[in-house]
Structures are given as C-alpha cells and as structure tokens.
C-alpha cells in the first residue's frame, strides 16, 4: 500500500503525530488505494506560515512568468491525463470517460489562466484635475486557503488554484479526504513545472482540524470553499470576525423545465445526462424535472425507459454508464431519500434500491407526482434521484422552479424563443441553460449561484476570478502645475 505525503514549504512531509487515513475505491470498498497524512492544527499553521514567507517573492514575480509556470503545468497534466483519469475513477467512482473530461478541463483551466498572466492589470481613468494621472492597479490578496469537495477533485482545485497563483497569491490547499490522490497529482505538476517552494502547500485531514485552522489563521486573507451549505455557513462564520474575504459555492436543487413545445427526445436525453451522469453527484445536477402536464406522461415514459437501460458498475469498465456513489455514507443518504419520497406520497417509478453488490451502487431512480414542498423536491440529495413535478403552464413552471432555497442552475427545453428569454430573466439562479443539460460549464464564463447556493459575492472562473483573488489600489500622480 502506497503512503503519500503532504507538501509544506517545498518539502514532502507526514503528519507531526503520525496519524493517517485511507482512501478507498467506491466500486470495490475492500481496495485501499493509499494512506494519507491526517495533519494537525500545528501542521496546518506551518503550511500557512510557509505560504506567507513565499508571498513577497511570488507577488513580485512578473505575471507572465507566473503564467508560464501554469502553462508548463498544463502540459504535464496533459502528459499524465490518462493516469490522472484512472486515479480519479478509482477514487471517486465516475466513469473513465467522465474522468478524462474532468482532467482535460483542469488542463484547459491551467492554460486559460496562464494567458491571464499577460492580461492582469488595472485601468487608467480620466482625472478631473489638470496635470494629474489617475489609475488603478491590481495587487494579490495574499495567502489564500482553498478547500475543495470530492465530486470534482481535479477540476474544482484547478479553477481555484490557477487564478490564485497567476494573480500573485500563495495557497494552502486542502482536498476532500475521499479523493485526495488525484488532486495531489495537480500539485505534483505545479512543482515539476517550477513553482517555488511554499507557493502552494498541500495538506490533508479533517475539516475540524485542518479546515478550521486554514480559515481562522490571521495570515490567511481569503478563503475559497466549495461544499455543502451547512459547512459553508460555518466557514463564513469562522472567517467573519477577522473580516476575511470569503468565496462560497455550495449546494443546488436544479430544475429542468420541459415545455409542451420542446423536443421531447432531447428533454429525456438532457434529464438523463443531468440527473444520472456523474451519478448525480454534482452541484449542477438535474434533481427536479418540471414538465408541462400535457406532455408529462410521454416524457415520464421516455425517462423511465432510459433510466432502466443505464448500465451501472465500475467506472473503469467501458460498458459502465453510471458509476457508484462515492461512499457508503452517500449511498445510504441516497436510499434514505428514496424512503422519504415514498413516505411523502411521491410515486416511485424506477429504481430506488441497490443496483449491484460489491460497491456503493445505487439504481437510477425516478419519482413522479412530486409536490414542490416535499423534501424530495427541496433538499439536495447528491445522488441519481430525479423528482418529476408537473405544471399546468409556463408561469407555474417558473414559480415551481424558484420555490427552493437554492439558486444555482435552471434549464429549460423549448422551441419558443420568447419563453426561453423570459425564463432566463425570471429564473432565480446564477446559471440558465436553454436546451442544454444543467451540468457542464464553460471555463471562461462566470460561475456561481444565488440564495443558499453561494455567499452571493464573488463568482468563480473566467475573468471574474480576478475580483476575489486581487485587491484594487487607486493611484493619483500629479505631474504638472
């Protein structure tokens, strides 16, 4: 069994108390993939201090030079793409095709932000005083704590770490304990690409020990967190007394609206891809389908047929179309919500049980006649469970789309351009998709939600990332009489 180390100040280290934890294969839980250090608060403080010591030199490094390191890291990721993808599938469970796409996305994110090194800057403003130059400059925020989830253990670290680095910050990075190895490969690529010691520090362990220490350390100036709403609120509260900058991306309860004028076959395809792709373990997953009651029966029949035909199994098997839940706990959560849906009176049409033994395999599940106020329609499940909600018309569909606490993504299937744009205006979400799956995002576009899906402050990805990772300084230069 391989024993992995953490990176602090350019040195590969173990926990100061020798504690470790295992990562396992969710398709074969008896397979232990490796041992990782369970770091202590003191270890984490040392990582933050290493990042603080490395900050001045890194911040003074020209942005194009910082970008060149990111570009070289992207090349190394590309060279190891298959190896990282296989590791991702073994750790997290998604199919190998899904894993390859995620690693390719991480590669492209590093390439994108490498280019931002040539674009970073402020602006020159017109002065209202003769003989004065007025301009702004962008400066790094400082030491950034980055805490990421298990469901996209390569892509999400990439879209946080890459902008943090290119804009001149140093980083302390904690991956999710269920999938630490593939994110370690990103860090290894950065080190091999020439990243100076201490600029990125990689620490594994519990949120209670490592995560909390990363949030409250006085040298940390910003915290970027992706995870559940409940944990995100605690992160926000812990950072608030020191008025740290906080970026939160949390849950979703995303709806796909299917109108009478929409392409029914396309709607079924989008619901299957959004609801069962990635085993439903995505904050952007389609967990609700709100369908016009005039076509609901036909849509539900198509959805059920498609759900029954999906092949569930080990993601490394080329025949597999949906992998396992990431852990026993997540599998039990999925099955618990099935029981809740039944108890609430929703009609279970497909699935609802264990697909096969030997791993955490849950059947693709479809409920019909779900009331919008049921827990099944309100709470994030994070599994392959779709709740079908019927609506009498377009206006009711919009109302039902917005009657949840989350506001991340909403999609609509329609051939009516007027309704498509009306939906884009009225859906209370951060991302709207028209005739596309709720999953899948362009890396160059801003990403973030409304309501309980985020802190409603800073967006991620694209050029919007600069707002979180930099601060603006205004400069007045008098040069005349």
460 DSSP 8-state letter: B
Longest Cα pair distance anywhere in the chain, in angstroms? 83
Residue 475's SS3 state is: strand
Identified catalytic residue from 162, 246, 283, 377: 283
Q: Within 277-374, where are the H helices?
A: 296-309, 328-344
70 DSSP 8-state letter: H
97's tokens: 């095709």
Please, are residues 385 and 55 in contact by the beta-carbon 8 Å criterion? no
Q: What is the DSSP string of 140-167?
A: E--EEEEE--SSSTTHHHHHHHHHHHHT
H-run or E-run covering 101: helix 96-116
List the 124-125 sheet strands across, edge first: 124-125, 132-140, 470-478
185's tokens: 């490969």
Residue 3's SS3 state is: strand
182 belongs to the catalytic site: no
Instruction: Give the residue numbers annotated as catalytic, written as ranges.
Output: 283
């Amino acid at each position: 069994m391989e024993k992995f180390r953490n990176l602090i100040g350019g040195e590969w280290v173990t926990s100061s108390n020798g504690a470790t934890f295992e990562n396992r294969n969710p398709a074969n839980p008896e397979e232990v993939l490796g041992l990782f250090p369970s770091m202590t608060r003191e270890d984490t403080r040392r990582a933050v201090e290493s990042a603080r010591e490395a900050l001045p030199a890194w911040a003074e490094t020209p942005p194009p030079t910082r970008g060149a390191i990111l570009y070289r890291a992207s090349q190394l990721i590309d060279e190891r793409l298959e190896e990282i993808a296989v590791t991702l599938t073994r750790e997290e469970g998604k199919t190998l095709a899904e894993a390859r796409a995620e690693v390719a996305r991480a590669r492209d994110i590093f390439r994108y932000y490498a280019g931002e090194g040539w674009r970073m800057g402020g602006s020159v403003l017109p002065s209202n005083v003769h003989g004065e130059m007025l301009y702004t400059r962008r400066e790094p925020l400082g030491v950034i704590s980055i805490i990421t989830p298990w469901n996209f253990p390569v892509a999400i670290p990439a879209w946080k770490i890459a902008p943090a680095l290119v804009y001149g910050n140093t980083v302390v990075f904690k991956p999710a304990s269920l999938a630490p190895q593939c994110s370690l490969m990103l860090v290894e690529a950065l080190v091999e690409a020439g990243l100076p010691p201490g600029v990125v520090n990689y620490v594994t362990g519990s949120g209670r020990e490592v995560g909390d220490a990363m949030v409250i350390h006085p040298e940390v100036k910003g915290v970027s967190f992706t995870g559940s709403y409940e944990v995100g609120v605690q992160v926000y509260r812990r950072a608030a007394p020191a008025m740290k900058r906080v970026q939160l991306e949390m849950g979703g309860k995303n709806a796909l609206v299917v109108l009478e004028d929409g392409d029914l076959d396309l709607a079924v395809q989008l619901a299957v891809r959004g609801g069962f792709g990635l085993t439903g373990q995505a904050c952007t997953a389609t967990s609700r389908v709100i369908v016009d009651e005039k076509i609901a029966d036909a849509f539900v029949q198509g959805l059920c047929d498609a759900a029954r035909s999906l092949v569930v199994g080990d993601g490394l098997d080329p025949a597999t179309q949906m992998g396992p839940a990431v852990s026993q706990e997540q599998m039990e959560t999925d099955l618990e919500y099935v029981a809740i849906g039944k108890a609430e009176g929703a009609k279970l049409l497909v699935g609802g049980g264990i697909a096969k033994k030997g791993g955490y395999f849950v059947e693709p599940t479809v409920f019909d006649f779900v009331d919008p106020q049921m827990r099944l329609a309100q709470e994030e499940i994070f599994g392959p469970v779709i709740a079908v909600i019927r609506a009498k018309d377009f206006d009711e569909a919009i109302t039902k789309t917005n009657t949840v606490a989350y506001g991340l993504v909403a999609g609509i299937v329609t051939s009516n351009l007027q309704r498509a744009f009306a939906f884009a205006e009225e859906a209370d979400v951060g991302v709207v998709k028209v005739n596309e799956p709720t999953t899948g995002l362009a890396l160059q576009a801003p990403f973030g939600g409304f309501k309980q899906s985020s802190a409603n402050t800073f967006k991620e990805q694209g050029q919007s990332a600069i707002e979180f990772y930099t601060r603006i300084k205004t400069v007045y230069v008098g040069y005349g009489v």
